[in-house]
Structure 1
Amino acid sequence: MNNLFSDVSRRKFITVSTASAALAAAQVTRVSATSNSPSANDRLRIGFIGVGGRCQQHLDSAARLQNEDGTVEIAAVCDVFNRYRDRAVQKVTDATKKKPTVTADYRDIINDKTIDAVCIATPDHWHAKQTLDALAAGKHVYCEKPMTHTVEEALEVYKTWKKSGLVMQVGVQSTQLPVWEDARRRICEGQLGKVVQYQTEIFRNSDMGQWRYYELTEDMTPKNVDWKMFLGTDFGLAPDMPFDRAKFGQWRCYWPFGSGLFTDLFVHRTTSMLAATGLRFPGRVTGAGGIFLEYDERNVPDVATVVADFHEGVQGFVTATMACQETPLNQTIRGHHGSFVFGSGEVFAGYDFVAERPQVTHDSSIKSERIEVSVPEDTTFAHFKNFCEAAREGDPVAVKCDPEMGASAMVIVKLGSESYRQGKIFHFDPKTMKISDGNSEWASNWESMSAQRASAHHVPGWSAGETGSKLIPKDYQRLEGPWVNGVDPASKS
């Protein structure tokens, strides 16, 4: 994988790796990885880093918890833009009647030993650095999606979190929907038979271009914005460049800071499919697309598709256009005995099981049905509350979207974006966590399995034996096979 990342990305990986090493050293001196966790009767004091956009909803959630049962306290807010800082302080003070501390440097929060956890909602290129710093300081982490900006960072965060014993939630709120757990159970029990594919989508439209709806204002100036800290150039996070309101306010349009629809949108849908199927890291990834409409100086495409093939014998793909939202695809998981059809969008109160015909399933009891499930009133609040409860209990497995799922989604969507940019197919080895350029091994492996008449691979947690995963050959298939020395293979049967 010689050219997967730019020089800046390589420097960034060195930076976050150094932070990871600092965590390992810090663990030697800590009594336990959760020593900074509050007891079940104490408040979870949270610092909020990056309070410009999405974090407003997290502040609302935290204020609600602070007012309802006192289990949470908004301790501090941080942003590089003075107006965002002032707005957040006023919002919290009005909501809780208690003024948080305020800073322009996230390290003040990281170094504050009275703070138990952080909520990170900065631009993507800062996520790994701030997450690793927080883990090194013994703090629980809620990090907005995508978990990181690069694949290397995602794997580093995942490995570091596993060693830490701390709680971390990745901000994909749709994982709070019961629909995914319900589908997961049914899949493992064999309702779909052998699962072979998932498809998901996120179609949008706009008359101004995606992410250009983030308003640029005259007070966005170098005087009011710590541009150097925003870039993170001193940490190897982005190249130095002149101040630009669009780069600051609409950073998702530019590769140095985000990856457009790949990481802002595809992560949502891909993570939901991982939750439903139990799949995690892929085996092979390819991406396609282009800037086909939005010629407004952006770097990132407005049409894209990512295809991920898994060692479990499942293909997943996510696709989108930023030009049409009235004709989306149905989000679907397909198996030999039927499919789960969820529809389009993000929140689902139910889904359909569409059965295959009995001539294929050889089971007339398999019928199509509508499956109803409950829906949380507010998935954003439910997701944040889930994190807070897990952090207060010191229970890393209690969250719905942990760094393993976050890293898996990142490997899929980010390798997809790099495939688009470089024109390559990438292989990923989940055992070694290594990435390589595509080759013939993937296809030859499946061809070898076919030649050996091997048993099908299944999704993790599969408990249905051979249900829906064995072919029933016709009698005439006995006629197949090579004629060796002129002998008809059928004569041996």
Structure 2
Amino acid sequence: MSKSSKHTRKDFIKTLGTSALAVAGVPAILTANTKKPISYLTRERYAANSNIQIALIGAGGMGSQDTYTALKHDGIKLVAVCDLYDGYLKKAKENWGSDLFTTKDYREILNREDIDAVIIGTPDHWHKQISIDAMRAGKHVYCEKPMVHSLDEGHEVIQTQKETGMVFMVGSQGLSSLGNEKAKALLEEGAIGDINFAEGFWARRSPIGAWQYNIPNDASMQTIDWDTFIKNTNKIPFDATRFFRWRNYKDYGTGMSGDLFVHLFSSLHFITNSYGPNQIYASGGLRYWKDGREVPDVLLGVFDYPDSPQHPAFNLSLRCNFVDGTSGTTYLKIVGSEGSMDVEWDKITLKRNNEQFDDPFLEAKSKEQGQKTGRKKIVPQEEIVYRAEEGYLGAHYDHFANWFNAIRGGSPVTEDAIFGYRAAAPALACNDSYFEDRAIKWDPVKMRKI
């Protein structure tokens, strides 16, 4: 039997006058122009009680962003960087110091005793192996999403985490945001009733957003370790485009679903405590970026979430568009029996339906005059906005704070291997559905195809 909201709508309304509308002691305010109640979300600062020495494996765009964010935390030192391209290693020394140890062989990183933890920012097809090797070498791991490249890789990562006891965190950075935490609390408080539907959208309209990454002029077999790049996949001649724009190719990336849908799955599963869908269907196509890529640039996904102890049955609709001419936006909307939430990493917009009750006297007078009665009227929704307070350092910062806190002996990470695989699996199954043109059946509890 599914778990309904722990609190009724009336209970939630009562809390609006106290703690629910005054987060961390900050009272709600009304903006002068909209009259919408706004509550400010706050985050306690994490204290650094021990130093952590880290290394980066995969120093491209996302790996570098991860490292910049990690180094904003106290007590964190970067001592080594690994990448297969000389240019990224040179750039790493320019950014983080000439004394930085650099290598093209990640095993040299793992063999160093002065490294406590590694950030894995490689293309997707190397996530599983480097994660496993790192944990077996006694290193804590922050692995970029999706956790694995294919559905059959997840259980081995989970088992390795259990066997080694290392702290393993998947890098869906929005998961640890104030917005997600507040949405989770609101759902548990009954703010929107019982969930029955959710939808998400990711829109981009730039070449970089569509993975048309820059290809350096010096890209060659002399500057790139191509043999290692393709070591665990199909062996083909050197191709700089495939190396730098790897997300466009199935051998190395996981398409729009693995890159972007996975963020929405992570947030949704955190908010609802869900294990995931049991049926996945995808459709889409290559509409604009016909540059030799093997994956679509418009993708739609429909996901059935079964009734479970965590939540009632609901449906999820996701879409992604790399040729959106109107905006470059993303959102996640969660709809319940009594309202909805628009969830952003630093903002929640809660909308609750007002009920219209007819006055008995007015209804009697209307009948006397021959007018129709009992007809409902259009009434405005009640809207409450929760926004991160000024100075909030962001979801990415919070995600690393969660990882470092766990390494230092604090609470467990929010996105361990099991959670990470349950977020990655429907994204990867979405790809399978698209390329096989069929619905995919999935057991979200056992985490296996049916």
TM-score by length of 1: 0.71
Deviation at 1:340, TM superposition (A): 1.3
Select 1:50's aligned residue among 31, 50, 58.
58
Find out whether 1:296 has 2:291 as its counterpart: yes
Contact 2:275 2:445 (8 Å CA) reproduced:
no
Deviation at 1:154, TM superposition (A): 2.4
Matching residue's letter, 2:350: D
In the alignment, structure 2 segments of 5+ residues that lack a partner are 1-47, 308-312, 358-379
Report the secondary structure of 1:54's partner residue: helix
Contact 1:196 1:335 (8 Å CA) reproduced:
yes
Find out whether 1:425 has 2:439 as its counterpart: yes
Select 2:430's aligned residue among 412, 416, 430.
416
Residue 418 and residue 100 in structure 1: after superposition, are their counterparts in 2 closer, same or farther (change >3 A)?
same
Distance 1:348 1:381 in 2: 12
The aligned counterpart of 2:106 is 106
Matching residue's letter, 1:275: F
The aligned counterpart of 1:332 is 333
Distance 1:183 1:433 in 2: 26
Distance 1:392 1:351 in 2: 35
Distance 1:379 1:43 in 2: 22
Deviation at 1:322, TM superposition (A): 1.2
Select 2:68's aligned residue among 26, 37, 60.
60
Report the secondary structure of 2:72's partner residue: helix
Runs of 4+ aligned residues of structure 1 deviating over 6 Å after TM superposition are: none
In the alignment, structure 1 segments of 5+ residues that lack a partner are 1-39, 360-365, 437-493
Report the secondary structure of 1:166's partner residue: coil
Select 1:78's aligned residue among 68, 77, 82.
82
Distance 2:71 2:181 in 1: 29
The aligned counterpart of 1:374 is 388
Find out whether 1:242 has 2:240 as its counterpart: no
Q: Aligned ranges for residues 21-40 of structure 1 at < 5 Å? A: none
The aligned counterpart of 2:405 is 389
Distance 2:291 2:134 in 1: 37
Distance 1:209 1:134 in 2: 30
Percent identity between matched residues is: 32
Select 2:271's aligned residue among 254, 276, 279.
276
Report the secondary structure of 2:276's partner residue: coil
Matching residue's letter, 2:265: T
Deviation at 1:104, TM superposition (A): 0.8
Residue 207 and residue 55 in structure 1: after superposition, are their counterparts in 2 closer, same or farther (change >3 A)?
closer
Report the secondary structure of 2:303's partner residue: strand
Deviations 1:154-203 (A, max 9, x none): 23323332343221221112112212122212212222222111101101
Distance 2:419 2:334 in 1: 18
Q: Aligned ranges for residues 168-317 of structure 1 at < 5 Å? A: 168-206=168-206, 210-212=210-212, 214-231=213-230, 233=231, 237-312=232-307, 313-317=313-317
Report the secondary structure of 2:112's partner residue: coil
Select 2:448's aligned residue among 434, 443, 451.
434
Matching residue's letter, 1:404: I
Distance 2:283 2:77 in 1: 45
Distance 1:178 1:102 in 2: 36
Greater helix content: 1
The aligned counterpart of 1:348 is 346
Greater strand content: 2
Distance 1:256 1:144 in 2: 17
Contact 1:350 1:373 (8 Å CA) reproduced:
yes
Contact 2:128 2:147 (8 Å CA) reproduced:
yes
Report the secondary structure of 1:202's partner residue: strand
Distance 2:54 2:227 in 1: 25
Matching residue's letter, 2:68: D
Contact 1:283 1:430 (8 Å CA) reproduced:
yes
Deviation at 1:356, TM superposition (A): 6.1
Distance 1:336 1:75 in 2: 52
Residue 189 and residue 62 in structure 1: after superposition, are their counterparts in 2 closer, same or farther (change >3 A)?
closer
Matching residue's letter, 1:88: A
TM-score by length of 2: 0.78
Contact 2:255 2:431 (8 Å CA) reproduced:
no
